[in-house]
Structure 1
């Protein structure tokens, strides 16, 4: 495995990047396998009373109880794919070695065919994720910048470049303080992101 290290991007809120999650050739093999073997979907979401297909493809995966509601739609997870389960195991090892217990029980995979496909501004702050969720996002494929902006105008917007085989850890305070987006760019190549999270059970939400 290639030499890798944590980079602290922000202290408050906690934002870190890690390069070399899987190493090669494992990372490229995982990209090819996920591209070929997953049942990629392009659902429509209701915005301002109209249905719009999302500008990317996605798969929601995890434990059976990890149901998720977004933009008026309920998402029921598919069972873990072996390659995704192996990546989760690697992420859990990286984080527990830093004293971070996550309990990730689900992952949202997004497939971007090229730089024109995108993700709009949002925070991962749905009630199902709890008051202060920890989100771990793995990038496979084409390097693109994730754009961040402060919710309350307390600083300038900034980019975090996410290369192939990297992990972005959005820790305490990120979702309450920041929004993020993957904006369109003239960058060629396939990119798949895996955003690991913990969805609370019904009992934990009440």
Structure 2
């Protein structure tokens, strides 16, 4: 079992540890080819992508990307004042979820996910602002696993206390970013706009706690 704050030594040569405490690591070659590229194409075409508006500073703004909230029926989620009810698992997304769990298990990390937020970025101008995935529904110090398909982009991290310099985690096609316990409490992350072409879909797997997922 993985202890919080400690990324176990792994024989996975495609794993790069970015931080030991809190644990942050990138695994490459999650699905392999052509599976990863075929999954990217199907998800881009099959899903009912949405562009909801969120209330910020008293005004409604459409998000600068498209998204789908997906998972088990109990995985209801509240974000920026809105409640999201999950769509049923798409077969490709369920396959990716199982591949994530298997890859983490091989690294000595036990994980279970009942939901995923998919974000579709048409190009480098579409983005995600600074935030932490620290909603009450996720419990204290959640483990979150984010899969990247498509164009490579960097996820920018910064310490909430500014105790160290901000840094990039470059996420290539078919990669898995592990954000272990403590990452959401101590850091924020953002997908900042860059002049990088190409479609990118991210799948951020998480466990919503049924006892705290309110109506």
Equivalent residue, structure 2, for 1:172: 181
Displacement of 1:204: 8.6
Equivalent residue, structure 1, for 2:88: 79
Hey, what's the Cα distance between the residues in 2 that align with 1:19 and 1:189?
19
Equivalent residue, structure 2, for 1:60: 69
1:9 matches 2:18: yes
Structure 1 residues 119 and 203 mapped into 2: Cα distance closer, same or farther (>3 Å)? closer
- Checking the alignment, whether the CA contact within 8 Å between 2:75 and 2:213 is kept in structure 1 is no
Hey, what's the Cα distance between the residues in 2 that align with 1:170 and 1:54?
23
Select which of 147, 162, 187 maps to 1:153: 162
Structure 2 residues not aligned, in runs of 5+: 1-11
1:136 matches 2:145: yes
Equivalent residue, structure 2, for 1:98: 107
Displacement of 1:99: 2.5
Equivalent residue, structure 2, for 1:28: 37
* TM-score, scaled relative to structure 2: 0.92
SS at match of 2:141: coil
1:188 matches 2:197: yes
- Checking the alignment, whether the CA contact within 8 Å between 1:4 and 1:20 is kept in structure 2 is no
Equivalent residue, structure 1, for 2:54: 45
CA RMSD of aligned residues (A): 1.3
Displacement of 1:202: 1.9
Moved over 3 A (4+): none
SS at match of 1:121: strand
SS at match of 1:159: strand
Structure 1 residues 82 and 4 mapped into 2: Cα distance closer, same or farther (>3 Å)? farther
Equivalent residue, structure 1, for 2:6: none
* TM-score, scaled relative to structure 1: 0.96
Hey, what's the Cα distance between the residues in 2 that align with 1:195 and 1:204?
18
Hey, what's the Cα distance between the residues in 2 that align with 1:203 and 1:167?
27
Displacement of 1:97: 1.9
- Checking the alignment, whether the CA contact within 8 Å between 1:4 and 1:19 is kept in structure 2 is no
Structure 1 residues 180 and 79 mapped into 2: Cα distance closer, same or farther (>3 Å)? same
SS at match of 1:89: helix
1:70 matches 2:45: no
- Checking the alignment, whether the CA contact within 8 Å between 2:77 and 2:213 is kept in structure 1 is no
